[in-house]
Structure 1
Amino acid sequence: MFRFFAGIITAIAVIWSFQYFMGKSKQQEEIQLNSALLEQQIKQVGKLIVTEGQFSQVLSYKNTKKNYFDIFSANKKALVIVNAKVTIAYDLRQIKTEVDPEAKQVRILFLPEPEINIYPDLQYYDVSQDYFNKFDAADYNKIKGSVNKMVQAKIDQSDLKDDAKERLINELSKIYILTNSMGWSLQYQETTISSPSDLDNLKF
């Protein structure tokens, strides 16, 4: 009789152990599948997002050159119409993430800085120049440098950077929605993202 009960207990223990390890194996397999799916979906988010703007300005350029012991002066001047295309890009292909299957957490380790590009189209009007002070490459480079500074100042005063950041947040919210739907959490710089609105408060 003792052997009979011992056999039953042993059988139950074997079945329980089998089910336990099978369940644990399935859980580990599910976590691995979720990890692979998350990594694949995050890669799909990685793309180049570009925000464009247009700025126009009229620039007056004048240069005076003294000659012959400052007795005579030679002038040159021009009216420059500036039409500049501006792009602010976030290359999300550079984003760095870490997937932690044990904690069921995705950590954003690095976000790229915005790349600001200025493409000025310059048209010159009312160009006048004296014989001893003609336009040369240095003048055109100086004008272009002034234009870039002027456009950069306009960018800082506009909403273009905010619009670009908003598009970045929209892309990051896709990662949050994905992780949240799978029961995982999203973290950036020790901050856990609990809702899409938390992304608006992040500093990057």
Structure 2
Amino acid sequence: MIILKFLKKYFISMVFLIIGLLLFIFILRQSGKENVKSETRIINHEIQRLNKMIVIEQNYSSFKTKKYNNFNPKYFDFLNKNIVLYITAMAQVTYDMKKMKIEVDSAHKTVHILSIPDPELHVYPDVEIYNMETGFLNDFSKSELNEVMEEGKKDITKEVQKSNIQSLAKKQLISNLKELYNMVKLNNWKIIDDTPYAGQIQSMKD
């Protein structure tokens, strides 16, 4: 009889212990799921912030002189003509980050950057006649003015292409991506980056 009472108490204790253990596991799992949901929201928010357009702008200016020495300047310089242009340009390099392809896998706690759009360079030139000297009976024709102004636009576009504006935009892109890297690592997630920028970002100090 005593043994039966002991077994009964033991059995009841074991049942309560198992129920308590299962309840603890359930709460632990629910807590883990909530943590993953919270981490996913934080990372998605960082991605949305990254999806904004990256724009770097710079202004450029230069003078261009073109001489039309159709006649020997030693004897007939009064027949020659020349023009000085003042050329300005506003240049932009943009990354349309809305076109970035990225996947968030909350089950495996992984962020996968598949691709990033190429940068786009936009140049908006403006040309003004700063000084113009016409020769005797040798005025500028409309076609000559149009030609020299188009040359001026091409010259400043080449100057923009040789400048550091594209490298500045790239630095800004990498800096923004680094912030995403840091956020992912802070939440103990893994990041996979298939873009050409991965090596440069990983080599940066936190």
Q: Could you say whether these structures have the same fold, taking a TM-score greater than 0.5 normalized by the shorter chain as the test? A: yes
Q: How far did 1:144 drift?
A: 5.6
The answer to whether residue 147 in structure 2 is matched with residue 126 in structure 1 is no
Residue pairs, 1:158-177, within 5 angstroms? 158-177=163-182
The answer to whether residue 97 in structure 2 is matched with residue 88 in structure 1 is no
Aligned to 2:76: none
* TM-score when normalising by structure 1: 0.72
Q: How far did 1:101 drift?
A: 1.0
Q: How far did 1:6 drift?
A: 2.7
Q: How far did 1:133 drift?
A: 8.4
Aligned length: 187
Q: C-alpha distance in 1, partners of 2:91/2:195?
A: 34
Residue ranges of structure 2 left out of the alignment (5+ in a row): 69-79
Q: For 1:183, what is the secondary structure of its paired residue? A: coil
The answer to whether residue 159 in structure 2 is matched with residue 154 in structure 1 is yes
Aligned to 1:181: 186
Q: How far did 1:54 drift?
A: 2.9
Q: For 1:187, what is the secondary structure of its paired residue? A: strand
Aligned to 1:67: none
Which AA in structure 2 matches 1:134? S
Which AA in structure 2 matches 1:104? K
Residue deviations 1:60-89, cap 9 Å, x none? 5689xxxxxxxxxxx997443212221112
Q: C-alpha distance in 1, partners of 2:197/2:45?
A: 21
Q: For 2:118, what is the secondary structure of its paired residue? A: coil
Decide whether the 8 Å contact of 2:127 with 2:152 is kept in 1.
no
Q: C-alpha distance in 1, partners of 2:188/2:149?
A: 53
Return closer, same or farther for 1:132/1:159 CA change in 2, 3 Å cut-off.
closer
Q: How far did 1:50 drift?
A: 2.1
Runs of 4+ in 1 over 4 A off after TM superposition: 60-63, 75-78, 127-133, 142-145, 190-197
Return closer, same or farther for 1:157/1:103 CA change in 2, 3 Å cut-off.
same
Which AA in structure 1 matches 2:99? Q
Residue pairs, 1:11-160, within 5 angstroms? 11-59=16-64, 78-124=83-129, 125-126=131-132, 134-136=141-143, 140=146, 143=148, 145-160=150-165
Q: How far did 1:139 drift?
A: 6.3
* TM-score when normalising by structure 2: 0.72
Structure with greater helix percent: 2
Residue deviations 1:103-145, cap 9 Å, x none? 2122222322222111112012427598998315x963x5565
Decide whether the 8 Å contact of 1:185 with 1:193 is kept in 2.
no
CA RMSD across the alignment = 3.5
Q: C-alpha distance in 1, partners of 2:38/2:193?
A: 23
Q: For 1:108, what is the secondary structure of its paired residue? A: strand
Q: C-alpha distance in 2, partners of 1:13/1:190?
A: 50
Aligned to 1:198: 203
Which AA in structure 2 matches 1:10? V
Which AA in structure 1 matches 2:44? E
Residue deviations 1:19-50, cap 9 Å, x none? 11221121012101210121122212332332
Residue ranges of structure 1 left out of the alignment (5+ in a row): 64-74
Return closer, same or farther for 1:170/1:56 CA change in 2, 3 Å cut-off.
same
